[in-house]
Amino acid sequence: MARFTLKEIVEATGGRLIRLPKGVDAETIAISDVSTDTRTIKEGSLFLALIGERFDGHDYAEEARKSGCAALVLQKEECAPEGVPAVLVEDTKTALEKIAAYYRMRQNFLVVAVTGSVGKTSTRQMIASALSSCRKVYATKNNNNNEIGLSQTILAASEDTEILVLEMGMRLRGEISELTHIAHPDIAVITNIGVAHIERLGSREEILNAKLEILEGLKDEGLLIIPAADEMLAKAGKEGKIRKDVKIAYTAIESSAFPENASGTAAAENIAFENGKICFLAKAGFGEIEEIPLSLSVIGKHHVGNALAGLLCGLYLKLPAEKLAEGICSFAQIGHRERLVEEHGVFFMDDSYNAGPESMMSAMSSIRRLAETGKAWACVGDMLELGDVSSEKHFEIGAHAAREHLNGLFVIGDYKEDVRKGVESIDRDLPVVLCRDKKEIVEKMRNTVQPGDFVLLKASHSFEMYTILEEYASIFKEEEC
């Protein structure tokens, strides 16, 4: 946890100090941690009163005082309780960001920032796994990747942390800019430029511009890591959208064709799937190329690129390749991401945390590979926030399912007809079962899927496709009763 003096809080926020007891110096008041929730306050905490759409932290200022906070940060002077110092600011959210930025610079953490349309979380976790093998690392938890979550992540890092790995999410232009000016990264990683949030931003060009905002806060001569195969990022380099002082390192899967301006490269060769693991030879480095065999306990092939990004981060920081390999090989997925669960002989791949066209296609390829010569099915729902390209992209995932020779699809959502049309454009005999809801999926699947089959569960997060697995399991419990 971040520790401060009250004087540092005043300096960091530029606020005005009130209620300071006579004869007491703000430099002598110790702050043990920063809290925005009175339920976590303890003796010595700083309570910062955030204001949201449905809450106002100022309503809890008195409760914070009673809980033993050492001071408060408020934007409403009338809410300042007697008997405890308060720092008045124009905006408490901005104050939180300033305190986090102050702490990041005071501790001089090394910061790796990760953004992109798809794969931010798994890439962030892969990088953290790689670097944790030989440095003390603190990384974003869950989906705390907005301005509040990122600030809280920085402030939650202990003072002996050496490296921060921060995920940066966005929905609109300007949001990554705000985040990068808090974090001031040493290394920026952009996983890809896809179509997530195109409904809000209007085009892939605008998505690209939004993601490139990460470079605004990147330190002078900092490192940018990007996939060589991403056409939008390649276009950005050609059009001069990447700062000239920025060093660029590239990753590539099954290819070693890199741009001439590459400061570092990482390529994966001889990719094979053995005993439930993805094995390959990584050739990576900055100038001198090292050969590093890697073995990942994951399902999706896209993790190869994530591993290469983690490898480049470590090599750039001059960490030993063998230790980085140990960390990468220890990587494990979290939450509803590629979770393989057996239920009465059927193998479900719960990848329901979220979905976009790229991740949906990758998951379909993975379930086909897992099933080998057996049967592979997919239960899918809508991919949201695709705007005008929604029909087109759902058509494309249907076509991809047919090309991967899945044995059938169970589909719900507003775009299920587009998925069906996509399938039929490739294979008119492939069964596509259009369902009203998840309950009907389970009913239909119960009479179709057999022990030994593999089933993918995937859609945008709000569909909660993982509940299909729970409902499927309940059928057997009822039969047993």
Residue 148, in any domain of the structure? yes
Confidence check: pLDDT of 480 > 70: no
Burial label, 16 (beta-carbon count in 10 A; 0-12, 13-18, 19+) = exposed
CATH of the domain at 347: 3.90.190.20
Residue 103, in any domain of the structure? no
439/343 same-domain check: yes
239/136 same-domain check: yes
Residue 9: predicted pLDDT? 98
pLDDT in tens, 426-471: 999 999 999 999 999 999 998 899 999 999 999 999 999 999 998 9
Domain boundary among 329, 352, 378: 329
Residue 115 belongs to domain spanning? 109-329
pLDDT in tens, 260-278: 889 999 999 999 998 889 9
Residue 104, in any domain of the structure? no
Averaged pLDDT, 101-129: 96
pLDDT band at 479 (very low <50, low <70, confident <90, very high): low
Residue 441: predicted pLDDT? 97
Beta pairing partners, 290:
284
Averaged pLDDT, 405-419: 98
Residue 198: predicted pLDDT? 87
Both tokens assigned to 231:
């056409």
159/84 same-domain check: no
Residue 115, in any domain of the structure? yes
432/390 same-domain check: yes
DSSP string, 96-125: HHHHHHHHHHHHT-EEEEEE-SS-HHHHHH
Beta pairing partners, 274:
277
pLDDT band at 40 (very low <50, low <70, confident <90, very high): very high
Domain boundary among 59, 89, 119: 89
Averaged pLDDT, 121-142: 96
Amino acid, single-letter form, for residue 305: G
Residue 476: predicted pLDDT? 73
pTM for the predicted model, two decimal places: 0.92
115/247 same-domain check: yes
pLDDT in tens, 329-354: 999 888 899 999 999 999 999 999 99
Residue 139, in any domain of the structure? yes
Burial label, 28 (beta-carbon count in 10 A; 0-12, 13-18, 19+) = exposed
Residue 333: predicted pLDDT? 86
Averaged pLDDT, 114-127: 95
CATH of the domain at 297: 3.40.1190.10
Q: What's the 3-state SS for 342-368?
A: EECCEEEEECCCCCCHHHHHHHHHHHH
pLDDT band at 199 (very low <50, low <70, confident <90, very high): confident
How many separate domains does the chain show? Answer: 3
CATH of the domain at 66: 3.40.1390.10
Residue 117, in any domain of the structure? yes
Confidence check: pLDDT of 474 > 90: no
What is the Cα–Cα distance from 165 to 187, expressed in whole angstroms?
9
Residue 134, in any domain of the structure? yes
Residue 197: predicted pLDDT? 79
What is the Cα–Cα distance from 168 to 146, expressed in whole angstroms?
6
210/305 same-domain check: yes
351/313 same-domain check: no
pLDDT band at 57 (very low <50, low <70, confident <90, very high): very high
Whether the Cβ atoms of residue 282 and residue 307 lie closer than 8 Å to each other: yes
Both tokens assigned to 432:
């596509």
Q: What's the 3-state SS for 410-446?
A: EECCCCHHHHHHHHHCCCCCCCEEECCCHHHHHHHHH
pLDDT in tens, 135-174: 999 999 988 999 999 999 999 999 999 999 999 999 899 9
Domain boundary among 274, 302, 329: 329
Residue 177, in any domain of the structure? yes
190/322 same-domain check: yes
What is the Cα–Cα distance from 150 to 146, expressed in whole angstroms?
6
pLDDT in tens, 293-332: 999 999 999 999 999 999 999 999 999 999 999 999 999 8
202/319 same-domain check: yes
- Determine what percent of the chain is predicted with pLDDT higher than 70: 99
205/304 same-domain check: yes
Residue 293: predicted pLDDT? 96
**Number of residues assigned to the chain:** 481
Q: Which residue has the tokens 């390529």?
A: 267
Confidence check: pLDDT of 478 > 90: no
Averaged pLDDT of the chain: 95
Q: 3-class DSSP state for residue 378? A: strand
Averaged pLDDT, 167-187: 97
Residue 117: predicted pLDDT? 92
Q: How far is CA 80 from the centre of its chain?
A: 37
pLDDT in tens, 214-261: 999 999 999 999 999 999 999 898 888 999 999 999 999 977 679 888
324/197 same-domain check: yes
275/218 same-domain check: yes
